[in-house]
Amino acid sequence: MASQKKFWQWSRGTYRFLIVLCASVLIISIIMFYKYGDELHWDAKEKDTYIETPENDTERIENGIHLRTGLKEGVGLTETINNCTTCHSAKLVTQNRMDRERWTATIRWMQKTQNLWDLGPNEEIIVNYLVTNYPPGKKGRRENLDNVEWYELKN
């Protein structure tokens, strides 16, 4: 089966990569320790070290949207991601539009029934973020049909 083969190839690839990675780290560490061991300062406070981390693609924000979650960029985004996307998808947030009272009531309901923790000082930050970025709009009793994709009908 193709899926089996793909899975096997994937596993093999992953393990090869891991083995090579571990081996390289080990060898480089030994060499470095041997060459520069004496110069090492064991107390980290003595010397500032900077670790460069490559920018994580999935945490990028483009056109005001946090790519991984689809949430809008704004004050409180991080707190919202950390507290509101552990159990459910951010899509449940981005689909909904509520005022302050109803977003707060939703948090209370999750705390009462869905194991949501006490948000502490983050609650105000999160509710402000939600009300600012996902407030209710007026739809009336029936909206116009929009986003119509026009096409020639062949009978």
Partner 1 sequence: MNRRKFVRRSALAAFAGLIGTDIVFGAKMTEGYVPLGAQDPDPFDLFDKDPEMVLLNDKPWNMEARAHLLDDSITPNKYMFIRNNGIVPEQNEVSDWKLTVDGESVKQQKSYSLSDLKSRFAPHTYQLTLECGGNGRAEFDPPAKGNQWTIGAVSCAQWTGVRLRDVLEDVGIKNDAVYIGYHGADLHLTRDPNKEPISRGVPMSKALQDETLIAFQMNGKDIPLVHGHPLRLVAGGWPASVSGKWLKRISVRNKVHDGEKMEGSSYRMPCEPIAPGEVISDDDMCIIESMPVKSLITHPKSGAMLAKGKTMDIRGHAWAGELEVGKMEYSIDFGATWKPCSLEKPVNRLAWQRFSANIAFPKKGYYEIWAKATDTKGLSQPMILPGWNPKGYLNNACHRIAVKIT
Which residues here bind partner 1, judged by CB under 8 A? Answer: 1, 3-4, 7-8, 11-12, 15, 87-89, 91-92, 95-99, 102, 106, 114-115, 136-143, 145, 148-153, 155
Residue closer to partner 1 by CB (options 37, 137) is: 137
Between the alpha carbon of residue 38 and those of residues 18, 21, 28, 33, 42, the distances in Å are 30, 26, 16, 8, 10
DSSP 55: P
Taking the complex as a whole, the smallest distance from the CB of residue 148 to partner 1 amounts, in Å, to 5
Tokens for 135, please give them: 């407030």
In the complex, the smallest distance separating the C-beta of residue 34 from partner 1, rounded to whole angstroms, is 33
- Residue 43 amino acid letter: D
| Identity of the amino acid at 1 | M
CA 85 to chain centre: 8
Question: From the CB of 110, what's the least distance to partner 1, in Å?
Answer: 10
- Select 15 or 33, whichever has its Cβ closest to partner 1: 15
Q: How far is the CB of 68 from partner 1 (least distance, A)?
A: 12
- Sequence-distant (≥ 6) Cβ neighbours of residue 115 within 8 angstroms: 87
Query: Based on CB atoms, which residue is closest to partner 1, 28 or 87?
Result: 87
